[in-house]
Amino acid sequence: MIKIVTEGGASAREYVKLLKERNREAGLKVENAVAEILDTVRRDGDSAVRMYADRFDGGAPESLELPRDQVEALAEKADPLFVESLKKAAANIRDFHERQKQQSWLTTREDGVLMGQRIRGLSRVGLYVPGGTAAYPSSVLMNAIPAKIAGVGELIMATPVKGGKANPDIMAAALVAGVDRVLQVGGAHAVAALAYGTESIPKVDKIVGPGNIYVATAKKQLYGTVDIDMVAGPSEILVLADETANPRYLAADLMSQAEHDPMASAILLTTSEAIARETAAELERQVQTLSRKDIILESLSNFGAILVCSTMEEAVGFANELAPEHLEVCVRDPMEYIGRLDNAGSVFLGNYSPEPLGDYFAGPNHVLPTSGTARFFSPLSVDSFVKKSSFIYYTRSALLPQADDIIRLAQAEGLTAHANSIQVRKEEP
C-alpha cells in the first residue's frame, strides 16, 4: 500500500525529487473550457451565469443572490452542537489573526519631512466555497475571519446550490464568520462573475477559497484582473519521527491528508526502521474502517512513502527540500527543531498537535502553500486582505539639499525628464 525506502541517501533523494515534481496542472481541455466560460460571462453577464448554472448545477436559481433572511433560515437548520463548535473555532481563529493586524505609521524629521505608510482593507472580496460533496465550513471561517479583521469593506460568498438546496452548515459558518452577502452560484462562472462583475454581481478586488480544477483554473486565468489567494495544488503532509513516536498516531495523521484526494501526498521521514514497519502495519489496519478508504489507498500507493533516514539532520534536510504544506514533528524534543525547519506552511510540534487540530480549531490559518511553494509563499493571513500605500511630504527647504543627488541619479539612467522635474524646483526664485 505504501512504499518504504530503507536505503536512504540516493534512493531517498530520488523519491524526494519525484514528489517535488508531482503536479496537477490543468490539461489543455480544461484550460480552453474555462477560458470560454470566462469570456462568455465577461461579455454576457447574468445571462451567461444563468446559462452555466442550468448546465452544471441542475438549474439556475430565481435570484443569483440568496436573501439574508433565507441565509439565516438555512443556518437555523444546522445542528446546534455543530454551530457551537464553529463558534469556538471562530474565537480561536479570530484571536490568532487579530495579532497579525498592522497599523498605519508616520515618521517625521527635523527638516519638516513626513513619510509613512497607510494600511487599509480591500474594498470588496469574493470567497468561493464548494457546496457539493466537498463542503467545508471550516474554510469559510479561515478565509472570512482574516478578511473581516483586515477591514474588508464587503465580503461576498459564492457557493453552488445543487437541486435548489443550500448547505445549512455553510450558511451557519457564513453567519459566524461575518460574510456580508451570499451568491447561490458556483463553478468557474461564479468566479468569472466576481472578477468581471455582472448586472447583479459586483466586481471584487480579490477572490479566495478552494474549488475543483475548473475553479482553480479560473482563478489562475483571472489573476491580474483580480488578485487571488494562491494557486493551490493537492494537499500534503510530511511527518518527522524518531524512535519515540507512536506508530498509531503517525498512521492516523498520514491518512488524515491522504483522504482529501488521490493526488494528496503523505510522507513519513523517520530514523527508525522499526517505526517505519509498525506505521505501515497501522496504516493497513486503520484504513479498513475509514469511509474514504479507496481514496486513501490510491493516494498512499501513488504519492505516499516512508523514508528511513540515517540521521535526523538528513530528515530535516529532506523536509526543507520538500517544503510541505503541513509538517508534523513527532520526536522526543520537538522544540529543538523549530529553528531548523525553514520551509513549511504550518508546523505541528509534538505528539498531541495533529494536523486536524490546525485544520479546524487551534487558530492558525489552514489555507497554506502547497507543492513546495512554502519556500517562498506564506499562509493566508490578515496581510492577504490589505493594501499598503506609502506617502511623502517634503518642504522646499528639505528638497533643495537633496536636489543634486536626485538629478545625478536620474541622469545616470538617461531619464532627463526626471532630472528636469527636480531642476525646475531648484531654479525657482
What residues are annotated to the active site? Answer: 325-326
The span from the CA of 379 to the CA of 215, in Å, is 20
Q: Is 257 known to sit in a ligand binding site?
A: yes
Q: Is 235 known to sit in a ligand binding site?
A: yes
65 SS3 class: strand
Q: List the helix and strand counts (H, then E) for the chain.
A: 16, 15
Closest CA to 259 of 306, 211, 299, 302: 299
Closest CA to 225 of 192, 201, 198: 192
- For residue 57, give Cα distances in angstroms to 95, 151, 163, 206: 37, 33, 7, 24
Residue for cell digits 494557486? 231
The number of beta carbons lying within 10 Å of the beta carbon of residue 140 is 27
Crossing angle of helices 273-286/247-258, nearest 10°? 60
Residue 382, amino acid: V
Q: With 0-12 CB in 10 A as exposed, 13-18 as middle and 19+ as buried, what is 228?
A: buried
Please count the residues of the chain: 429
Q: Is 326 known to sit in a ligand binding site?
A: yes
8 A C-beta contact, residue 172 and residue 409: no
CA R_g for the chain: 26
Q: Which of the 8 DSSP states describes residue 162?
A: B
Q: Is 413 known to sit in a ligand binding site?
A: yes
Residue 53, amino acid: A
Q: Which residues are annotated as a binding site for substrate?
A: 235, 257, 260, 326, 359, 413, 418
Binding site for Zn(2+): what residues are annotated? 257, 260, 359, 418
Known binding-site residue numbers: 235, 257, 260, 326, 359, 413, 418
